[in-house]
Amino acid sequence: MDLGMGQGASALTIDRARPEDLPDIVAMFAADPLGGHDDTDDAAALPRYRAAFEAIAASPGTDLFVARIDGRVAGTYQLIVTHSLAGQGAVRAILEGVQVAPDLRGQGIGAAMVVDAERQARARGASTLALTSNVARLDAHRFYERLGFARSHAGFKKRL
């Protein structure tokens, strides 16, 4: 997918994350000041991230994707597809952890990943694609609304 970055622009590819992508993915989360997830690129935390990566890879309804430009990890997202009794047994998809490398934001990478997530969700039979976004992420809210998402529910969270 050409991002329209001008002459000699690189092609964007999106595929499943590989174990060797993990440090780049973690670095994107650690660089996110609004995430509120206590992410860190401290090497001591890498085994916890690696265990989570392995659990995601082993889960049949969950996939972790990366966007690449010239082989460099430029962004990531996680897609969870699940069945629900509500909606007459509807298949629903949840978009999580959308991140773009800080120095590559504003180039269409995030939008390309969301479009890819929609394609992936449809291919798996999902009738909806849902996401949550921190209330402080006003720019992200406008971004998702531009991509056709509607504010439809109030979210709640409880730390355990």
- Domains contained in the chain, CATH given: 12-146 (3.40.630.30)
CA torsion sign, 137 to 138 to 139 to 143? positive
SS3 65: strand
Q: Name 94's bridge partners.
A: 80, 130
Q: What's residue 29's pLDDT?
A: 94
Q: Provide mean pLDDT across the span 37-54.
A: 92
Query: Per-residue pLDDT for 57 more than 90?
Result: yes
- Please, what is the Cα angle at 61 between 55 and 62, to 5 degrees? 50
The model carries a pTM of 0.89
- Please, what is the Cα angle at 21 between 19 and 24, to 5 degrees? 140
Q: What's residue 35's pLDDT?
A: 67
Q: What's residue 10's pLDDT?
A: 75
Q: What is the percentage of the chain residues whose pLDDT exceeds 90?
A: 76
Q: Provide mean pLDDT across the span 149-157.
A: 87
CB 49 within 8 A of CB 22: yes
CB 102 within 8 A of CB 31: yes
d(CA 107, CA 4): 8
Query: Per-residue pLDDT for 36 more than 80?
Result: no
Taking only the tens place, the pLDDT of each residue in 82-132 is: 999 999 999 999 999 999 999 999 999 999 999 999 999 999 999 999 999
